[in-house]
């Protein structure tokens, strides 16, 4: 492939996008830690496993209200924006954007499958690769049409969930029994999952493989492709409207924060209240109660974006934005590094803490991982132009070897 069509130069990167991406990759661990540390049901139903009182309740409450679906939303928006940045750069250099994009998504799919089946069932890369393949033809649409189409696609996911709840009375008994078992697993099922993840790597496969397969088939088609794909379309629209470049006025970003505080958060909080009032009944909480966070999280995410972009506009906030941007430039490597750290801590091939750490303790681990990623990313980028997996992904996509070390650190020719 022509060397002119290689990856973006450092001078071509959008710092505000890197900062947002770094913020999102750190924030998403607040939610993912639950799936690393506890049985699968505990993510959707906080009463399914462990203590939910005192500090544990506070940890769950704030993570649900401030983080659940919020950072995935930011990632999906940025993914759509990144698609436009990539394809426009390739076009400006005289290349084929379709060839580059589809090659990039194909390799992302490979990475995602390896991640899901060898390390952790909660992988999001397969979903993103799948959605990236589907939304590419929409990239030339006008912003208003992209925005409308994206919201419509997101609404389809919501509608599927509502129809599922309304149709429960007609479900076959075996399907009802499976849903109830997934939502509130009996002790024997919990014990089996705990034993699997406290076991060695091969023992974990009995739990990891079916969970990964279900997510990459059923869950993608009833939820993931609508949520992530719709948000990617919205992200394209917002990029065309110069939303992510910290180019708008401070008042604009303050309005986003106000929308989050006065509309998004109350919606999510009302959903929490309704779920507890229903005693986390599967029919209400899984199909109807989660709708408040499904939609409220969109506004809360915009508030987070507004806050970070305000920081990007503040000259004295470099102490915050520079480390976040470093994490964001290595988002792929850091996402996988989170998995490696957490599976080593919680799974049986490592320390074996699965099912032993309450929610409050999990957040302490999250803070420790954040510190590792912030320090590691900043130190790594002093010496190298890309994160290790970013370099590999680019090399495979463009079928060439980008310079890895910074030019001043490469040995002089003899």
Residue spans per domain, the chain: 3-408
In this prediction, residue 172 carries a pLDDT of 95
Residue 412 is predicted with a pLDDT of 43
pTM, 2 dp: 0.94
Would you state the pLDDT for residue 283? 95
Coil, strand or helix: which one is 235? helix
| DSSP track, 4-53 | GGSSPPGGGS-HHHHHHHHHHHHHTHHHHHHHHHS-THHHH-TTSSS--S
- Per-residue pLDDT, 93: 85
Cα(156)–Cα(222) distance, integer angstroms:
9
| Residue 249: Cβ within 10 Å count | 9
Local confidence pLDDT in tens for the 414 residues of the chain: 444 455 555 555 789 999 999 999 999 999 999 999 999 999 999 999 999 999 999 999 999 999 999 999 999 999 999 999 999 999 988 889 999 999 999 999 999 999 999 999 999 999 999 999 999 999 999 999 999 999 999 999 999 999 999 999 999 999 999 999 999 999 999 999 999 999 999 999 999 999 999 999 999 999 999 999 999 999 999 999 999 988 889 999 999 999 999 999 999 999 999 999 999 999 999 999 999 999 999 999 999 999 999 999 998 999 999 999 999 999 999 999 999 999 999 999 999 999 999 999 999 999 999 999 999 999 999 999 999 999 999 999 999 888 888 876 455 443
Candidates 309, 301, 307, 254; CA nearest to 14 is 309
Q: What is the pLDDT of residue 13?
A: 73
Query: Which candidate, 245, 394, 241, places its Cα nearest to that of 305?
Result: 245
pLDDT reported for residue 1: 47
- pLDDT confidence of residue 414: 37
d(CA 134, CA 220): 13
Listed residue (399, 411, 406) closest to 104, CA to CA: 399
Residue 5: its pLDDT value, please?
52
Which residues are paired to 405 by β-bridges? 384
Q: What is the pLDDT of residue 170?
A: 94
- The pLDDT tens digits of the residues spanning 246-268 come to 888 999 999 999 999 999 999 99
Q: Would you say 403 and 385 are in contact if contact means Cβ atoms under 8 Å apart?
A: yes
Please report the DSSP string for 280-344 in residue order: T-HHHIIIIITHHHHHHHHHHHHHHHHHHHHHHH-GGGHHHHHHHHHHHHTHHHHHHHHHHHHHH
Residue whose C-alpha is closest to residue 287's, from 170, 212, 183: 183
What digits encode the pLDDT tens for the residues 160-177?
999 999 999 999 999 999
């Amino acid at each position: 492939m022509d060397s002119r069509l290689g990856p973006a130069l450092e001078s071509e990167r959008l710092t505000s996008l890197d900062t947002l991406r770094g913020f999102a990759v750190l924030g998403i661990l607040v939610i993912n830690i639950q799936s690393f540390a506890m049985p699968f049901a505990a993510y959707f139903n906080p009463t399914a496993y462990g203590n939910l009182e005192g500090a544990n309740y506070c940890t769950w409450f704030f993570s649900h209200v401030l983080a659940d679906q919020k950072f995935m939303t930011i990632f999906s928006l940025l993914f759509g924006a990144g698609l436009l940045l990539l394809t426009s750069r390739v076009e400006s250099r005289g290349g084929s954007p379709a060839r580059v994009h589809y090659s990039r998504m194909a390799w992302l799919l490979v990475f995602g499958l390896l991640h899901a089946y060898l390390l952790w069932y909660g992988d999001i890369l397969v979903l993103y690769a799948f959605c990236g393949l589907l939304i590419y033809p929409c990239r030339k649409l006008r912003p208003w049409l992209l925005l409308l189409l994206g919201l419509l696609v997101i609404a389809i996911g919501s509608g599927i969930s509502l129809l599922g709840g309304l149709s429960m009375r007609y479900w076959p008994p075996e399907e009802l029994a499976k849903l109830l078992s997934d939502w509130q697993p009996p002790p024997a099922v919990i014990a089996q999952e705990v034993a699997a993840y406290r076991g060695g790597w091969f023992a974990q496969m009995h739990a990891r493989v079916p969970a990964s397969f279900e997510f990459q088939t059923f869950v993608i088609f009833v939820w993931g492709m609508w949520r992530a794909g719709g948000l990617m379309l919205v992200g394209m629209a917002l990029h065309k409207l110069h939303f992510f470049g910290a180019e708008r006025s401070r008042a604009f970003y303050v309005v986003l924060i106000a929308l989050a505080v006065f509309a998004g958060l109350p919606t999510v909080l009302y959903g929490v209240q309704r779920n507890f009032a229903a005693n986390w009944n599967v029919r209400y909480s899984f199909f109807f109660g989660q709708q408040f966070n499904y939609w409220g999280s969109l506004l809360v995410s915009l508030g987070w974006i507004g806050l970070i972009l305000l920081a990007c506009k503040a000259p004295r906030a470099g102490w915050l934005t520079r480390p976040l941007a470093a994490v964001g430039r290595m988002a792929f490597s850091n996402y996988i590094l989170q998995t490696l750290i957490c599976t080593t801590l919680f799974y049986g091939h490592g320390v074996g803490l699965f099912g032993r750490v309450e929610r409050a303790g999990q957040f302490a681990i999250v803070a420790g991982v954040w510190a590792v990623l912030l320090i590691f990313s900043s130190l790594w980028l002093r010496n190298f132009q890309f994160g290790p997996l970013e370099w590999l992904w680019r090399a495979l996509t463009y079928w060439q070897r980008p310079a890895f070390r910074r030019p001043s650190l490469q040995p002089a020719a003899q």
